[in-house]
Structure 1
Amino acid sequence: MSSIGWLDLDGVVNMRDVGGLPTTDGGTIRRGRLLRSDNLQDLTAADIRHLVEVVGVTDVVDLRSDVEYHVEGPGPLTRTELTHHRHSLFRDDEVEVTVADALVLPWQKDGTRERLRSHDDDYWASHYLGYLADRPDSVSAALRVVASSHGATVVHCAAGKDRTGTVVGMALAVAGVPEEEIIADYVATGERIERILDRLRHRPAYSDNLRDRPVEDHLPRAETMARILEVLDERYGGAAGWLHEHGWTPEETELLRTRLRS
């Protein structure tokens, strides 16, 4: 994998720019276009200045549930002129998602989910496919922000691993990043997983849920992202096919590709 574009700010642990990743046709993903991150609640004034003035962030996509948002309260970036987009990936998070569920929501079978799930027995892969089955509107909307923003877009959730990993993985697949590079980017979060969890244990929305959970439960596994990409290929001919199935035009898909590529 290309060198990881970590942004080592004081108020986050798992923020990185995916720019520099190669594409299958010899190109690269453009730097300063798509950043992925964990919770943004602790950003300092210096962090914010760097993101806005140096990195050029103009848009923030918040994938957390309504419960998480209300428990945590508005973060410091909401006091800036950046454009904020909230797109929960849970089906009905006012009813289904409690504070204890915010990071780990039990798998619930129904016809739509089961068709996406197929024969998969990877818990996290099933979890991620549930996002695509339950909230295709939010996934599509998040990717539309990436395609249309004037500057850099930060996509984040709580840990920057699961919901963020799903959306960013979709974006990279549409842009033509090879599967092994998408997987490596997803797995890179594991390098900082202990620090990520230590930070979240001090946040009100996550402390109870994480208290007795071992770090190993949260490590990203290569086979999880591989399975997501495999299902997208099997069912839709890839991430772009999934978007077309959910209302995207070829022009919109090309806009996302163009936006992300150098």
Structure 2
Amino acid sequence: MTPIPNSLATLQGASNFRDVGGYLTADGQRVRRGQVFRSDHLAGLTAADVARLQELGVRHSLDFRGVAEYTATPYAIAGVERVALTIEPTVIARMQALVAQGVVPTTEETVALMCETYRDFVNRNADTYSRFMKHLLEQPTPQVFHCTAGKDRTGFAAALLLSALGVDRATIEHDYLLTNQLYKRDARLEGQGHPHVMKVLWQVQPEFLNAAFDAVDTQHGGMQNYLQGAIGLIPQELAELKRMLLEA
């Protein structure tokens, strides 16, 4: 599926900003545009970008970054309340531990670490993703959610939301992989590392997202059970989310 063109979903100072609306659900409805946006970090926005967010009516930014990440690149956007949904970037800590031991992970080992990170999103960070979903329900005004690159923590959040709205997994994977086209890598944020390792860490692969979906399916009995169990959305809340975010 080709991406849905949306001239509104561009910012000069955020390379991975886009509207999650426009996609069709499995039953033929369409996700409402102009309500929920995903992005990389928002610390580099221009004055024109801030004006654009104000035009879009964005009132909340849901920030999945860890404490050190936010401290290094903080932001304050007029009229936009930042909500901390902290998920520490544990894969970086694991890589640093290996390097400290003199170990240079192979590409395959780095991919395996990323897959483990995505399984952690499902099992260890469910409470945070529950807060994300509840916030969308509680705040009907447009919102943007992000992490540093807008690819992993943000990627799973987008997958979770689109799943709850009834979008099929092939379309969700398409949206997820758009990061490889849109995100502009920033050496100042990446730190030091071997090129083959950094390439894995700062791009996305289907294997990463599939690791999360596999955990949802095998450990939680499928997405609907996961949404109603670990994420804690009752059927009425799932129905309300669809009412809010699907076109009539």
Q: Give 1:91-170 correspondences, 5 Å limit.
A: 104-106=92-94, 122-170=112-160
- Which of the numbers 35, 38, 49 marks the counterpart of 2:37? 35
| C-alpha separation in 2, matches of 1:177 and 1:24 | 6
- Structure 1 residues 216 and 126 mapped into 2: Cα distance closer, same or farther (>3 Å)? closer
Is the 1:89–1:134 Cα contact (8 Å) retained in structure 2? Answer: no
Aligned residue number for residue 86 of structure 1: 84
Runs of 5+ in structure 2 lacking a partner? Answer: 98-110
- Structure 1 residues 46 and 210 mapped into 2: Cα distance closer, same or farther (>3 Å)? farther
Aligned residue number for residue 208 of structure 1: 191
Runs of 5+ in structure 1 lacking a partner? Answer: 91-96, 109-120
| C-alpha separation in 1, matches of 2:194 and 2:221 | 41
TM-score by length of 2: 0.82
Is the 2:179–2:204 Cα contact (8 Å) retained in structure 1? Answer: yes
Sequence identity percentage: 28
How far the C-alpha of 1:81 sits from its partner, in A, is 2.5
| C-alpha separation in 1, matches of 2:3 and 2:205 | 19
TM-score by length of 1: 0.78
- Identify the range of structure 1 (6-15 vs 42-51) with the bigger mean alpha-carbon deviation: 6-15
- Which of the numbers 167, 171, 174 marks the counterpart of 2:164? 174
- Identify the range of structure 1 (247-256 vs 164-173) with the bigger mean alpha-carbon deviation: 247-256
Aligned residue number for residue 111 of structure 1: none
TM-align CA RMSD? 2.4
Aligned residue number for residue 22 of structure 1: 24
How far the C-alpha of 1:122 sits from its partner, in A, is 3.8
- Structure 1 residues 209 and 146 mapped into 2: Cα distance closer, same or farther (>3 Å)? farther
Aligned residue number for residue 210 of structure 2: 226
How far the C-alpha of 1:72 sits from its partner, in A, is 2.1
